[in-house]
């Protein structure tokens, strides 16, 4: 068996396939990162404009510690916006208490977010990002409340709250 595997490896490298095999074997945490978004900035610009915590979540797919975001307790009428580009993402009316420690919503505003498959951490999850700047916001799960049954589990640090003007 070992010989056969070795033979195949030799054959593969002889055919110039080694880089392809290595590439296929490399785990890709989030698929289709090559999408383009209306708001385009260099990594340096994002690093300059965002706080370190915002940068780690929005641009590096980090997750904030649960129960740390002040937005967990935000109950006023208004809109949750992307902390990267200001795009309105969620209305207060769709927010609910999920008990997870992250701000949770059962529906985003129309066309506000995009999703992609996230295979990091040995799980298959649906990643949620801002439709305008591609900034990572959180994940969506199908164990939410009516009427949608969806739970958009968001990082509070990736959003800003804009109270409704009365």
Note the residues at the interface with Zn ion (CB under 5 A): 82, 84-85, 87, 130, 132-133, 135
Q: Is residue 130 among the annotated active site residues?
A: no
The C-alpha atoms of residue 9 and residue 71 are separated, in whole angstroms, by 53
**What crossing angle do the helices spanning 18-25 and 2-14 adopt, rounded to 10°?**
120
Name which of 68, 83, 95 is nearest 159 in CA terms. Answer: 83
Q: Between 17 and 53, whose beta carbon lies closer to Zn ion? A: 53
Name the catalytic one among 82, 130, 133, 153. Answer: 153
Q: At its nearest, how many Å lie between Zn ion and the CB of residue 133? A: 3
Q: How far is the CB of 54 from Zn ion (least distance, A)?
A: 11
Pick the closer one to Zn ion by CB: 18 or 51.
51
Give the C-alpha distances (Å, rounded to integers) separating 153 from 37, 91, 104.
Answer: 22, 14, 5
Active site residues: 153
């Amino acid at each position: 068996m070992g010989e056969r595997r070795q033979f195949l490896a030799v054959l593969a490298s002889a055919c110039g396939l080694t880089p392809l095999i290595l590439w296929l074997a490399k785990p890709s945490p989030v698929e289709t990162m090559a999408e383009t978004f209306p708001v385009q900035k260099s990594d340096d610009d994002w690093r300059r404009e965002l706080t370190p915590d915002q940068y780690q979540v929005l641009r590096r797919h980090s997750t904030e510690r649960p129960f740390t975001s002040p937005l967990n307790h935000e109950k006023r009428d208004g809109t949750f916006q992307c902390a990267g580009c200001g795009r309105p993402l969620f209305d207060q009316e769709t927010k609910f208490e999920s008990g997870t420690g992250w701000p949770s919503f059962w529906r985003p505003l129309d066309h506000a977010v995009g999703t992609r498959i996230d295979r990091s951490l040995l799980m298959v999850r649906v990643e949620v990002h801002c439709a305008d700047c591609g900034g990572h916001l959180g994940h969506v799960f199908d164990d939410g409340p009516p009427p949608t049954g969806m739970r958009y589990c968001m990082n509070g640090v990736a959003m800003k709250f804009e109270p409704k003007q009365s």
